[in-house]
């Protein structure tokens, strides 16, 4: 199913690093890196990150892995290329991507949240499987599963030399019976000449029970398990999923 693409990943992509700064990713990227290394055969070298966006995680993961970065948004890849010029960048959709090669590890972080139906989630997990070599592993890190979702608000933003952004983020679930929730953003965008623009951006994101994650991953061929997400700024239960691709698969 085609879902609408948030403005942030189209016309507003050049503002990404003022909304979400690479410096804020050091701790979580360290957590992902350790899990990825431990999840499959020893000494992994190659890592495919799908939905890598502006390359914030990648800016840390590239120290550990030989990284290939895929995203649906050319504008987001352009931001990532500026931060990670040594990595290969490829435009692709996680539901249909077929690069014709396998990697030691595959990682999809928050971008997996844009899978809002069971069919889309399955397609993305199949993509992860076909790009993971036997004996390797994937790490899927959704923002929420149904069981740990709760409504929230957040705000933030950054200044650069010539521009500045501030945002309000409002997360809620208008229909608890379906497989999505809503994140509304208000962005205040200040240009170099001091002019200010306001944008509203709606992100529709997927919400599935943990049993659904585990059953799709198992159906697709992984040995799947949930792992608690550990971060000093997160004092509630979040979970990520590891899928090990058996050697004989
Ligand atoms: C929050 S951003 C990812 C940021 C990234 N974690 C980082 O470290 O900078 C989410 C990304 O998911 C991408 N995305 C959404 N749907 C996608 C799809 N079907 N295939 C590939 N990428 C997708 C968007 O283009 C966007 O760049």
Indicate the top mutation candidate among 82, 114, 121, 140 to test ligand 1's pocket, ranked by most ligand atoms within 8 A of CB. 114
Domains of the chain: 7-146+208-244 (3.40.50.150), 147-205 (2.20.130.10)
Helix extents (H) in 103-209: 118-130
Q: Is 95 in the pocket of ligand 1 (CB under 6 A)?
A: yes
Residue identifier of the C-alpha nearest atom 2 of ligand 1 = 53
Could you tell me the sign of the dihedral formed by the alpha carbons of 87, 91, 93, 96, in that order? negative
- Residues of the chain with pLDDT below 70 are 1-3
Indicate the top mutation candidate among 51, 90, 110 to test ligand 1's pocket, ranked by most ligand atoms within 8 A of CB. 51
- Laid out side by side, the sheet with 66-71 consists of 88-91, 66-71, 46-50, 103-108, 132-140, 239-244, 223-228
pTM: 0.96
Q: Is 114 in the pocket of ligand 1 (CB under 6 A)?
A: yes
Please name the residues in contact with 248: beta carbons below 8 A apart, sequence gap of 6 or more: 134
Res 3: pLDDT: 64
Res 1: pLDDT: 45
Res 185: pLDDT: 98
Residues 103 and 48 sit within 8 Å (Cβ to Cβ) = yes
């Amino acid at each position: 199913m085609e879902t609408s693409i948030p403005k942030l990943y189209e016309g507003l992509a050049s503002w990404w690093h003022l909304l979400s700064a690479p410096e804020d990713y050091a701790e979580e990227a360290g957590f992902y890196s350790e899990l990825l290394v431990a999840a499959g055969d020893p000494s992994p070298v190659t890592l495919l990150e799908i939905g890598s966006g502006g390359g914030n995680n990648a800016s840390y993961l590239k120290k550990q892995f030989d990284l290939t970065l895929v995203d649906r948004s050319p504008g987001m890849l352009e931001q990532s290329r500026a931060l990670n010029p040594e990595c290969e960048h490829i435009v692709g959709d996680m539901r249909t991507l077929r690069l014709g090669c396998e990697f030691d590890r595959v990682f999809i972080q928050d971008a997996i949240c844009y899978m809002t139906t069971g069919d889309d989630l399955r397609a993305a997990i199949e993509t992860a499987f076909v790009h993971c070599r036997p004996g390797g592993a994937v790490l899927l890190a959704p923002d929420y599963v149904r069981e740990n979702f709760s409504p929230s608000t957040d705000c933030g933003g950054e200044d650069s030399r010539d521009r500045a952004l501030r945002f309000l983020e409002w997360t809620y679930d208008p229909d608890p019976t379906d497989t999505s929730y809503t994140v509304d953003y208000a962005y205040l965008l200040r240009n170099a000449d001091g002019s200010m623009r306001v944008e509203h951006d709606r992100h529709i994101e997927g919400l599935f029970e943990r049993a659904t994650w585990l059953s799709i991953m198992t159906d697709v061929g992984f040995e799947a398990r949930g792992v608690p997400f550990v971060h000093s700024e997160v004092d509630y239960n979040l979970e990520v999923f590891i899928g090990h691709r058996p050697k004989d698969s």
